[in-house]
Amino acid sequence: MPEPVALVDADLQLRPWRSEDLPALLANANQAEVVRGLSSRFPHPYTAEDGRAFLAGEVVPLDRWALAICRDGQACGGISITCGSGERCGTASLGYWLGPAHWNQGLMGRVLALYVPWVMGDAGLHRLLAEVMVHNPASARVLLRHGFIEEGAARWAIRKDGVLYDLRRFAWLAGPSAAAPA
Ligand SMILES: CC(C)(COP(=O)(O)OP(=O)(O)OC[C@H]1O[C@@H](n2cnc3c(N)ncnc32)[C@H](O)[C@@H]1OP(=O)(O)O)[C@@H](O)C(=O)NCCC(=O)NCCS
């Protein structure tokens, strides 16, 4: 059985979700601003039932790489990967979010600096993809600042609330081709 994950940088800790995280999860997730850039699997309003189902692993697999982002011990967001299979084995896509009270303080940049090098090695990845809706410049910026390279846009890839959006695609490649942070 592998050791439970705990990645730590001062007040920041990435660790597996726990059932006791429910109140902190609800406080941070039940915010209209959070869902604007996320898949509709992330509901709004975000109810206690949604939170319980998530923490029970019924929404997305709470595998080894699905971690709560904690600040001073309190969960305030999440980060995870979805791994490819078959000929896409060794690739994954990245998802992350924070409660709005924690935005624009450099926190997600610190999270990526901890999580990405670790998950590339731990999950045996050669490519990590992040897709960002065009109206989410903060997410694009944090990826570019932390070594992801923009590859282009998938046009009209998403229909959300009846509107078609392009998805900007960013990737981190393992090894010498990984970019230096901007
Ligand atoms: C995207 C998100 C994770 C960013 O987290 P964060 O902790 O605020 O990110 P950071 O503070 O590390 O970096 C944000 C960067 O974007 C910049 N930024 C913020 N708002 C911006 C805007 N409207 N336009 C351009 N840049 C912006 C910040 O200045 C910062 O850049 P800098 O480091 O060069 O100053 C957070 O906003 C979030 O959780 N949003 C909701 C969920 C979501 O959209 N997830 C991503 C899906 S792809």
Domain ranges (residues) in the chain: 7-178
- Quick check: 119 and 125 in contact, CB under 8 A? yes
pLDDT in tens, 140-154: 999 999 999 999 999
Atom of ligand 1 nearest to the CA of 132: 48
pLDDT in tens, 60-94: 999 999 999 999 999 999 999 999 999 999 999 99
Domain 7-178 has CATH 1.10.3430.10: no
Report the C-alpha gap between 62 and 115 in whole angstroms.
16
User: Among 1-5, 74-78, 156-160, 171-175, which range has the highest average pLDDT?
Assistant: 74-78
36 falls in which pLDDT band (50, 70, 90)? confident
* Residue among 76, 108, 158, 172 whose CB has most ligand 1 atoms within 8 A, to mutate: 108
Report the C-alpha gap between 122 and 67 in whole angstroms.
14
Q: Whose CA is nearest to atom 42 of ligand 1?
A: 97
Atom of ligand 1 nearest to the CA of 103: 8
158 lines ligand 1 (CB under 6 A): no
Atom of ligand 1 nearest to the CA of 112: 12
